[in-house]
Amino acid sequence: MNHFVHLYLARPTVESRVGNLLGDFARGVNTRGLPEEVREGLDNHRAVDAFTDAHPEVMACKTRFSSQRRRFAGIALDILFDHYLLRHWDRFGHKDNELYISELYQDLEAGRELMPDQMRQVVRRMIDYDWFRAYQDLGNVGKAMDRVASRIRFPHHFHGVIEEIRPLDSELEHHFLAFFPDLIEFNRLRHN
């Protein structure tokens, strides 16, 4: 899962949202020194990733990518699933989309002191460039994937992956809609 989905699955507190996002930035972080709710969020991030990676619908999505890009299918799906959650906000959202995104950004701003430096920098760009509203457009999702591709330090074929996704969009969306309620239920049981 990518940033928006992890924040969606967090408890609605600054600490939980920071912790659920921290999973992508935790390398080298002394997790024992974190507040308990941040650690719980980090644990939730890791559990969500493990559940997602093992889910049959997600595994089916990965097989749809070409052999040159399959190695990066998980990265592409993480970002694409943020888009699908936003696309289906009327089904999965609990409040107005615009208000919710603004609330997420406010909580991330409030939690900056809990973040390692690299995460702080990414969150600054996330807010300044309004990633979550941008993710509502599939073309912007493709640009985000290309930015990820530009950071890969070895030869690859990940650039332009959105052109491979476009003809598969409805099929991948179908898999997401079959998978995501299971993830929500898994997350609900973890929080009870």
Closest C-alpha to 17, from 100, 142, 102, 104:
104
- Using one digit for the tens of pLDDT, what is the confidence trace for 75-90? 999 999 999 999 999 9
- Using one digit for the tens of pLDDT, what is the confidence trace for 18-57? 999 998 888 877 888 889 999 999 999 999 999 999 999 9
Instruction: Please tell me which residue, 147 or 106, carries the higher pLDDT value.
Output: 106
- Using one digit for the tens of pLDDT, what is the confidence trace for 91-110? 999 899 999 999 999 999 99
Q: What is the pLDDT of residue 50?
A: 95
Phi then psi for residue 21, to 5 deg, are -85, -25
Using pLDDT thresholds of 50, 70 and 90, give the confidence band for residue 139: very high
Average pLDDT for the chain? 93
List alpha helices for 55-116, DSSP H. 56-63, 73-87, 89-92, 97-110
Q: Which amino acid is at 62?
A: K
Q: Which amino acid is at 32?
A: R
